[in-house]
Amino acid sequence: MRAGDTLRFRGPAGAEFVVTVGAAFDERTIKARVDSGEWTPLDADPAPAGGTSEDGPVSRPPQNAQKAEWVEWAVTGLGLDRGEAEAMTKAQLIEASPADGDQ
């Protein structure tokens, strides 16, 4: 877990959310919330660059997904630099991503 990493969790009421590791949510704070059971991780580990995870290839997110999911896809699925992906608009990320059948 590094500063700038985007992690997905489910909260105590069942809502899913994304946290970017940084000053507000450092590794110690995130670990404490997970250990207490307040947050449930939805990703075992961020997928490595190259578009694969422990479960196989990373899937392209649906068009209505949050921008953070598209940034994560651009980094893990397309190999873009995280800073470059975060600077792009959601529309640019979608345009840069081939449809699943086009890969």
> What is the distance between the alpha carbons of residues 84 and 23, in angstroms, rounded to a whole number?
21
Q: Quick check: 62 and 70 in contact, CB under 8 A?
A: no
| 3 state SS of 69 | helix
Can you give the residue ranges of every domain in the chain?
A: 6-41, 52-102
DSSP 91: H
Residue 88's identity, in one-letter code, is: M
> What is the distance between the alpha carbons of residues 76 and 33, in angstroms, rounded to a whole number?
25
CA angle in degrees (0–180, nearest 5) for 100-7-103 = 15
pLDDT per residue as tens, the chain (103 positions) = 778 888 889 888 888 888 888 888 888 888 888 888 888 888 765 444 344 444 444 678 888 888 888 888 888 888 888 888 889 998 998 888 776 544 4
Per-residue confidence (pLDDT) for residue 72, from 0 to 100? 86
> What is the distance between the alpha carbons of residues 49 and 89, in angstroms, rounded to a whole number?
21
> What is the distance between the alpha carbons of residues 81 and 78, in angstroms, rounded to a whole number?
9
